[in-house]
């Protein structure tokens, strides 16, 4: 009963949280975009992809341009369209200077900041980001864009499957932390790149962990949900039990979208389904725990009944056999 009440509370919390976050979404929602508008966006973006895509580079619409430079600026239309910004026109962020070629002079400086469309979210996230190791050590160089490539990034809730979320979010960190070139662009001149494998040697099955868990799970403050505050290494999570336990911290982090979605489609009681009981030593399923308990209880009752019947039968037989 206690358990069920806790699940009710969690489900209720999730519903309220999703309602709150929906109302706080300030970027104009494109969820119910009409097909004509969508086609118009695709047409506009196709103009950019005519040059800025692998296809475009193969048959450029004109020859009088720096093809070597263009080669470093290609984008995949399919990846773009399935990203969170897939329904945003390129020129909305890049400005009208991008719509003509040759492009306007300081195109780079004209890009819209995230806050232009995500004011409320940026307000919340920026305070966390400002407290992170990266913002503290690399003040001006490190921006939202250093982690989020807005041309491909997808929000976790939309991805759903944990292994895909993990792949995307870990690539974010590893593209830089596993690349001397990229790392050196941000690190102080005398800083050598620490080898990620070597640093985490204390973690058994390190490779398996990289595929099953995100860097941010250990490198952000514990607690509900996700914070953008990447902590100092001395504060990183080293305690195995924080994940390898029944009340795993992963439930309110990595798996939170999964649980929310299942709660929506299956009802909250069924949401704690077995296939997702990744965590060693925990089924996280009150129904199975209940069923096992019921089976055990039935067994005991069965044994008691059996004993009583046998005792009764033996008594009856003995009385029957007694000489009159």
The single residue among 131, 167, 173, 222 that binds ligand HEC, judged by CB under 6 A, is 173
CB of residue 9 vs ligand HEC: minimum separation in angstroms? 22
Stretch near ligand HEC under the rule CB under 6 A, chosen from 2-10, 115-123, 266-274, 299-307: 115-123
Stretch near ligand HEC under the rule CB under 6 A, chosen from 35-43, 58-66, 266-274, 310-318: 58-66
Stretch near ligand HEC under the rule CB under 6 A, chosen from 6-14, 206-214, 268-276, 301-309: 206-214
CB of residue 160 vs ligand HEC: minimum separation in angstroms? 12
Q: Residues near 319 by Cβ (< 8 Å), separated by ≥ 6?
A: none
CB burial readout 22-55, b (16+ within 10 A) else e: eeeeeeeeeeeeeeeeeeebeeebebbbebbbee
What does residue 216 show for φ and ψ, rounded to 5 degrees? -65, -20
- In whole angstroms, give the CA distance from residue 266 to residue 62: 54
* CB contact at 8 A, 280 and 244: yes
Both tokens assigned to 241:
């039990």
Size of the site for ligand HEC (CB under 6 A): 104
Question: Residue 322 burial (CB < 10 Å; 0-12/13-18/19+)?
Answer: exposed
**Contact between 17 and ligand HEC per CB under 6 A:** no
Inter-CA distances, 65 with 51, 58, 62, 104, Å: 10, 13, 7, 14
What does residue 115 show for φ and ψ, rounded to 5 degrees? -65, -20
Q: What mask, x for binding ligand HEC by CB under 6 A, covers residues 133 to 172? A: xx--x------xxxxx-xx-x-xx------------xx-x
Question: Residue 238 burial (CB < 10 Å; 0-12/13-18/19+)?
Answer: exposed
Stretch near ligand HEC under the rule CB under 6 A, chosen from 34-42, 107-115, 282-290, 303-311: 107-115
The single residue among 41, 80, 159, 255 that binds ligand HEC, judged by CB under 6 A, is 80
What does residue 65 show for φ and ψ, rounded to 5 degrees? -145, 165
Count Cβ atoms below 10 Å from residue 157 Cβ, excluding itself: 15
Q: Which of residues 28-57 bind ligand HEC (CB under 6 A)?
A: 28-31, 45, 47-48, 50-52
CB of residue 292 vs ligand HEC: minimum separation in angstroms? 21
Q: Which is nearer to ligand HEC, 94 or 251 (CB)?
A: 94
- In whole angstroms, give the CA distance from residue 74 to residue 77: 9
CB of residue 140 vs ligand HEC: minimum separation in angstroms? 12
The single residue among 54, 194, 223, 312 that binds ligand HEC, judged by CB under 6 A, is 194
CB of residue 151 vs ligand HEC: minimum separation in angstroms? 6
Q: Which is nearer to ligand HEC, 18 or 84 (CB)?
A: 84
Give Cα 71 to chain centroid, integer Å.
Answer: 31
DSSP H or E segment with residue 256:
helix 256-266
Q: Which of residues 233-262 bind ligand HEC (CB under 6 A)?
A: 233, 236-238, 240, 242-244, 250
Q: Which of residues 285-324 bind ligand HEC (CB under 6 A)?
A: none
**Contact between 91 and ligand HEC per CB under 6 A:** yes
The single residue among 16, 199, 308, 314 that binds ligand HEC, judged by CB under 6 A, is 199
Q: 3-class SS at 52?
A: coil
């Amino acid at each position: 009963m206690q358990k069920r009440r806790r699940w009710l509370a969690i489900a209720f919390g999730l519903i309220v949280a999703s309602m709150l976050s929906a109302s706080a979404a300030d970027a104009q929602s494109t969820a119910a975009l009409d097909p004509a508008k969508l086609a118009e966006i695709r047409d506009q973006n196709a103009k950019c992809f005519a040059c800025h895509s692998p296809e475009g580079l193969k048959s450029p619409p004109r020859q009088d341009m720096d093809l070597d430079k263009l080669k470093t600026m290609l984008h995949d239309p399919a990846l773009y369209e399935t990203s969170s910004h897939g329904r945003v026109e390129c020129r909305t962020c890049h400005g009208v200077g991008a719509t003509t070629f040759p492009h306007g002079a300081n195109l780079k400086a004209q890009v819209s900041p995230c806050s232009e469309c995500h004011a409320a979210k940026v307000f919340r996230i920026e305070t966390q980001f400002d407290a992170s190791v990266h913002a503290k050590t690399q003040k001006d160089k490190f921006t939202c864009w250093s982690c989020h490539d807005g041309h491909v990034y997808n929000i976790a809730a939309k991805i759903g499957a944990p292994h895909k979320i993990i792949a995307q979010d870990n690539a974010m960190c590893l593209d830089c932390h596993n690349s001397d070139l990229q790392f050196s662009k941000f690190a102080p001149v005398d800083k050598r790149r620490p080898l990620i494998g070597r640093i985490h040697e204390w973690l058994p099955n390190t490779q398996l962990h990289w595929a099953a868990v995100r860097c941010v799970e250990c490198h952000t403050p514990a607690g509900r949900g996700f914070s953008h505050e990447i902590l100092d290494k001395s504060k990183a999570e080293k305690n195995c039990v924080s994940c390898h336990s029944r009340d795993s911290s992963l439930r309110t982090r990595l798996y939170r979208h999964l649980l929310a979605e299942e709660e929506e489609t299956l009802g909250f009681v069924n949401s704690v389904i077995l296939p997702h009981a990744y965590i060693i030593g925990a089924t996280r399923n009150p129904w199975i725990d209940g069923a096992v308990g019921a089976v055990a209880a039935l067994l005991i009752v069965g044994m008691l009944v059996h004993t009583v019947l046998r005792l009764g039968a033996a008594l009856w037989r003995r009385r029957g056999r007694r000489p009159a």
